[in-house]
Structure 1
Amino acid sequence: MSSSASLRASWQYEVPTSGSAHLPPDAGYAKALTNQGYSFEAAVADLIDNSIDAGADSVVVHFLRDSDRIVSLLVLDNGRGMDASGLDQAMTVGHRREYGDDALGMYGTGLKAASLSHAKSLTVISRTRRSAPAGRKLTAEGIEDGFRCDTVDQSFAQEQIDVYDGLIEWQGTIVRWDRVRAFETIAPGQSEQFLSKAISQLEQHLGLYLHRFLSRGIKLDIAVWDVSTGEETDHISVDALDPFGYKLSGKAGYPKKILAQVEGVGQVALEAHIWPAKSNLAGFRQVGPVQQRQGFYFYRNDRLVQAGGWNNLRAIEGHLVLARVAVDLPAVSGSVFSLTVKKDGVEVTPAFTVGVDEARGSDGKSFHTFLADAEAVYREGASRSAVERQAVTEPGKGFDPMVKRAVREELPLKPGEDPIRIDWVTLPESKFFDLDREGNGILLNKEFRDDFNDGRRGGANDAPVTKTLLYLLLQDCFGLGRWERKRADRIDYWNAILLASVHAQRERRSRNIP
């Protein structure tokens, strides 16, 4: 028989089998599980997805530090919680549970893969309204030891729930990362800078990818707690960062719904948006590199799973930075749309791009007309003269999030510089403030803290007006090579005048003068 005849004879639509065997995963799978390529922000977002699926309306991302060391990260929520049986299922590697049509979870691997991609130890402690606190601990070593999962001591589980009883009163969950790789590599004296950058990136990522939930009222906070002092050293509330949150469209008639007929799926609605040119709003400037944020924004059950990109429809081009398209993935997507495990991208087949190429709006205009309109708005805006504002170093720890957002919206930021922090510290009585130029810090004399908080204990982001005015005065004192005598003299007389003003305020308060 010829080789071609043999090939025809052996080829079948289905390969026949003669038996089967169950092959459990090898313990070496632990290495694959811990190398999924999750970014820190995407991993934390995956944990919060679980909180939302559990019905939580309040979630806190909690960094724990011990003086200069960052020791753990916790994600706390007030969702339904889990009993011991539910915890066993949640911590089983490879366990696939049933998801509702509106769930954010998909593959059943997020908790383990996201956590062990960054931490060598994952602990989950939970309680329901009908069950006592219980906990499970999973480590990379435990997985290698036959997928061993340890039971957390019940008294410790109760103690952890009690610590956070302000949030977890009757039900809720604590997900805890220990031996976090990024924390273990921080150089001595650099924890403050690390936290400032990590919190800023986390705030941006969560604000963007969960913006629809935040806009609907879910409360999401990021806090830092020093276990050595028992004090909260930073606390911010994450606000929605809407990539379509402009006040006035860049062109009349937009946003516009354009319908694409996609083979294997049916009709897919494309909501085409054109941002106004040169916008400084947070939803345009603060969602990452502007050029990379043009294109498709795919949502699955209101959770953003891709922020920009044209998915092989066309290349990224500078003149299309104002063009963004919101797409809610259909419940039944066939094989056309494929979501990555990390929920940070969508793969599409040519059926989608063909459908988009032929898409039309109710007015008969095509998707390509939308792109041409977006380009025209960009070119018109580029031709207008504009006052160039001087770039600044962004404010960081100690500044209220509203202030930080306003600075980002109004002023260009200097690239590659650590944010300026502001702290209350012990200083000589002769100084109202001082500068830590190497550490990018403005230091306020804590002797005067009560004067700016009406005698009450202030939080990490207190005295926003005073701090903001000092930031505007002093931000250009950082990132300098040479410290000029003229600049040093300016700092001295500002200090003297501000010191006089705070003493004047104290005197007026002592005499009950408003």
Structure 2
Amino acid sequence: MIVENMNKKSKDSFGEELPPDPSRVAEGLRDTGYDFNTAISDIVDNSIAANATKIDITFNISPMNEISIYIADNGTGMDENGLKNAMKYGSKQRDEIKSLGKFGLGLKTASTAFCRKLSLVTKDKSTTHLLKMTWDLDHIAKVNKWQPIISTPSKDETRIFNSIATDDTGTLVIWEKIDRLLAKNPEEYASKNSFNSAIKVKKEKLIKHLGLTYQRFLDKSDERCPNIDISIDMNPIVAIDPFCLNEEKTDLLATKKQPITIDDGKDKYWIILNAYALPRPEDFSTQQAKSQANVSTNTEGFYIYRENRLIHYGDWLGMFTSEPHYSLLRVEFSFGAELDSTFNVDIKKSRIFPAEEIVNWIKDSFISAPRRAAQEKYRMSKIKTASEKAIKTGAHDTSNKVIDLKAPLVENSQMTPIGKNEVDLKNQYGTIRHKIEIISDNNRNNMRIIPIDNLENGDLWRPCLVDGKHAVQINQSHPYYQKIYMPILGQKITTTGMDALLWALCEAENSNVNAQTEEYYEDLRVTVSRFLKKLISDLPDPAEEDEQ
């Protein structure tokens, strides 16, 4: 054990300052993990923090395929000192704690993750002319100093600034020497068209990202935050509501406003949780609404909002793995900037890492019931899809014909109805009074194979009697039907083979059951059905396109 003598005077001394190497630091900070959409969002955050109401993102491509990007806003702008602070790595913290900006690094690191030359053009009410400052990584490497370039904005830059900053204040962020936007260098593309197509894909993804990330700001009817207009090349971005609240079949499953105390209980803040089950695919009001909702395992889970800005979505924060059965479930998780340290918000404002006690509270006290409800909604959707597909394709028609033709050759039992769902069953062991579902079906195609929404005890199959014919009910809600049957319903030979197997199991039961073994056969169906459910639990659900 080390014991420190507290009375002993320290002999520590201070050495000379050891400033980091400017070029190596500037280059190293390019690799902080930004993707393009997150980087642009970090710039937009700064515009919103500056009280902008209009933001436009312009892509410019030169005849030599050199890409430049301009992000202009009509915010409050900056004077010379403000400009210097904004361009400083680790700029001073804003007075407003609720600002979407956080660490004073986003503008620089987000920009240089994709470009080697970053410029700011700005003007506030106190300045008489536009100010411009530039970080050029090549210049930093040449002089090995944190030396910005001061210059006068070009005519094009002034024009772009004035097109948005109509009240004579605002900021224009300029990315030049862009070298990390595309997977290949411009000269490596086969043609100008293929190069333009790659840019178009980037724009389309950015449009969706901004519409989702700033939905509450873009939606004029949302009163939780200031309204803004964002455009790309002057084309307005439309708000995308991940919870589809305008859809009639969206269900609010649970809601909770939970207090969080920090600083030993001195301060109390709130998180808001709302769990929604989206409509089943067939229940969306329009095809466009269904497409925009983008229901999948990649979009289920928590949607994390910091100061009404979406910072992360599409997983369960490590609580669960994403599964198709929960693909309809999306959970709003909203909090204020005061809880940044509690949730360990990262530098890109793109992830949170809640404390273990918060995670456990969500798992134990909030999310279980919504997960069950969403799973049931999904299950009913699959049953409906299976039924519609079976009818559309006549999936069991061949089975019914083949089994009906061959049944007299293998049936070793006779059933005579004597009451509701009760028969006298005669086989090689004698005659017993036996309970079995008796069905009357005018559809002559459903003589032997009867798909049904659900069976009690979760059985996969069960014998029944249809208009006097021995038949089998097949449970469409059982995972075996959904994962094994559904993908092959259009393959008549395979479907007939599967149907024949289950029908044969029923007929074997009819031919051998007696008063002493009735219960054993019931247990056998339950046990086998349960085993099958476990055995195929890790198999993927059929892709939606395979079900159509």
* 1:271 counterpart (270, 274, 277): 274
Aligned to 1:481: none
Superposition deviation, residue 19 in structure 1: 4.5
Aligned to 1:138: 135
Call closer, same or farther: CA 1:29–1:374 in 2, change over 3 Å. Answer: same
Aligned to 1:488: none
Distance 1:282 1:338, change over 3 A: farther
Q: Which amino acid aligns with 1:239?
A: V
Q: Deviations over 1:344-381 (max 9, x none)?
A: 2212221221111232xxxxxx5311110011011111
Q: Are 2:223 and 1:219 aligned?
A: no
How far apart, in 2, do the equivalents of 1:69 and 1:277 lie? Answer: 44
- 2:378 is paired with a residue whose SS is helix
- Check conservation: 1:58, 1:218, Cα contact below 8 A: yes
Q: Structure 1 residue 24 and structure 2 residue 22: aligned?
A: no
Contact 1:83-1:128 at 8 Å conserved across structures: yes
Asked if the contact 1:249–1:275 (Cα under 8 Å) also holds between the matched residues in 2, the reply is: no
Q: 1:146 is aligned with what amino acid?
A: K
Q: Is the Cα contact below 8 Å between 2:253 and 2:373 reproduced in 1?
A: no
Q: Give aligned-pair identity as a percent.
A: 24
- Does the CA contact (< 8 Å) of 1:63 and 1:72 recur in 2? yes
1:314 Cα deviation (Å)? 1.4
Aligned to 1:369: 369
Measured against aligned partners, the alpha-carbon deviations of 1:18-76 in whole angstroms (never above 9, x if no partner) come to 35555433222112211112111111111111111111111111011224624311101
Residue of 202, 205, 212 corresponding to 1:201: 205
Superposed CA RMSD: 2.8
Cα offset for 1:159? 6.0
Separation of aligned partners in 2, 1:384 and 1:161: 59
Paired position in structure 1 for 2:235: 236
Query: Match of 1:329?
Result: 335
Change (3 A) 1:194 1:352: same
Residue identity matched to 1:201: K
1:297 shift after superposition: 0.9
Deviation at 1:220, TM superposition (A): 1.1
Following superposition, the deviation at residue 208 of structure 1 comes to 0.8
CA distance in 2, matches of 1:321, 1:73: 36
Equivalent position amino acid for 1:297 in 2: Y
Q: How has the CA–CA distance of structure 1 residues 249 and 356 changed in structure 2, closer, same or farther, with 3 Å as cutoff?
A: farther
| 2:385 alignment partner in structure 1 | 385
Residue by residue over 1:468-506, the C-alpha shift from the partner in whole angstroms, topping out at 9 and shown as x without a partner, is xxxxxxxxxxxxxxxxxxxxxxxxxxxxxxxxxxxxxxx
Q: Distance in 1 between matches of 2:124 and 2:117?
A: 23
Give the drift of 1:163.
Answer: 4.7
Q: Which string of whole-angstrom CA distances, capped at 9 and with x for unpartnered residues, describes residues 225-272 of structure 1? A: xxxxxxxxxx522101110124346465x2531355667577633111
Amino acid at match of 1:210: Y
What pairs with 1:301-450 in structure 2 (closer than 5 Å)? 301-333=307-339, 335-359=341-365, 366-385=366-385
Cα 1:79–1:282 shift into 2, 3 Å: farther
**Structure 1 residue 172: deviation in Å?**
1.3
SS at match of 2:59: strand
Residue number in structure 2 paired with 1:91: 87
Contact 2:118–2:176 (Cα < 8 Å) also in 1: yes
The one-letter amino acid paired with 1:148 is Q
Q: Does structure 1 retain, via aligned residues, the 8 Å contact 2:140–2:146? A: yes
| Correspondence 1:74 to 2:70 | yes
Shift of 1:281: 6.5
User: Separation in 2 of the partners of 1:283 and 1:335?
Assistant: 37
- Which of 108, 115, 118 is 1:112 aligned to? 108
Aligned residue for 1:101, secondary structure, equals coil
Which of 39, 42, 47 aligns to 1:46? It is 42
Residue equivalent to 2:452: none
1:191-235: CA deviations, max 9, x gaps? Answer: 320221111011011111111111134111111xxxxxxxxxxx5
What is the CA–CA distance in structure 1 between the aligned matches of 2:149 and 2:383, rounded to whole Å? 64
Distance 1:369 1:255, change over 3 A: closer
Q: What are the ranges of 5 or more consecutive residues in structure 1 without an aligned counterpart?
A: 1-5, 224-234, 360-365, 389-514
Which deviates more, 177-186 or 277-286? 277-286
Q: TM-score, normalised by structure 2?
A: 0.60
Quote the residue 2:214 is aligned against: 210
Question: How many residue pairs were aligned?
Answer: 359
Distance 1:117 1:249, change over 3 A: same
Do residues 257 (structure 1) and 255 (structure 2) align? Answer: yes
**Relative contact order higher in (CA < 8 Å, ≥ 6 apart):** 1
- C-alpha distance in 1 between matches for 2:231 and 2:359: 39
Structure 1 residue 332 displacement after superposition: 3.0
SS in 2 for 1:245: coil
| Shift in alpha-carbon separation, 1:159–1:376, aligned structure 2, 3 A | closer
The alpha-carbon distance between structure 1 residues 114 and 282, as it changes in their structure 2 partners (threshold 3 A), is farther
Distance of aligned partners of 1:267 and 1:114 in 2 relative to their CA distance in 1, 3 Å threshold: closer
Whether contact under 8 Å (1:128, 1:171) holds in the other structure is yes
> Structure 1 residues 262, 17: CA separation in 2 closer, same or farther (over 3 Å shift)?
farther
Q: What letter corresponds to residue 271 of structure 1 in structure 2?
A: N
> Cα offset for 1:285?
4.1
With over 3 angstroms needed to count, the CA separation of the structure-2 counterparts of 1:92 and 1:381, relative to structure 1, is same
In 2: Cα distance, 1:367 partner to 1:17 partner? 57
Would the alpha carbon gap of residues 74 and 274 (structure 1) be closer, same or farther in structure 2, given more than 3 Å must change? same
| Secondary structure at the counterpart of residue 81 of structure 1 | coil
Tell me, in whole angstroms, the C-alpha distance in 2 between the residues paired with 1:76 and 1:320.
40
Deviations 1:308-337 (A, max 9, x none): 211121111110011111111244327430
* One-letter amino acid of the counterpart of residue 119, structure 1: C
**CA gap 1:121/1:86 in 2 versus in 1, 3 angstroms:** same
3-state DSSP of counterpart to 1:341: coil
CA contact (8 A) 2:44 2:55 kept: yes
Q: Contact (CA 8 Å) 1:81, 1:173: kept in 2 or not?
A: yes
Q: Structure 1-normalised TM-score?
A: 0.64
- Give the number of the structure whose alpha-carbon radius of gyration is greater: 2
Q: What residue identity is the alignment partner of 1:172?
A: G
Q: Which runs of 5+ in 2 are unaligned?
A: 221-226, 263-267, 390-548
1:73-113 deviations in Å (ceiling 9; x for gaps): 11011111112221111111222322413210000001100
CA distance in 1, matches of 2:208, 2:304: 18
Q: Distance in 1 between matches of 2:164 and 2:197?
A: 28
**Structure 2 counterpart of 1:179:** 177
Match of 1:148 in 2: 147
Cα offset for 1:158?
Answer: 6.6
1:68–1:257: structure 2 CA closer, same or farther, 3 Å change rule?
A: same
Deviations 1:442-467 (A, max 9, x none): xxxxxxxxxxxxxxxxxxxxxxxxxx
Hey, what's the Cα distance between the residues in 2 that align with 1:262 and 1:358? 17
Q: Does the CA contact (< 8 Å) of 2:98 and 2:336 recur in 1?
A: no
Task: Tell me how far 1:17 sits from its aligned partner.
Answer: 8.9
User: Aligned to 1:347, what secondary structure does the other structure show?
Assistant: coil
CA contact (8 A) 1:260 1:358 kept: no
- Aligned partners of 1:74 and 1:219: how far apart in 2? 16
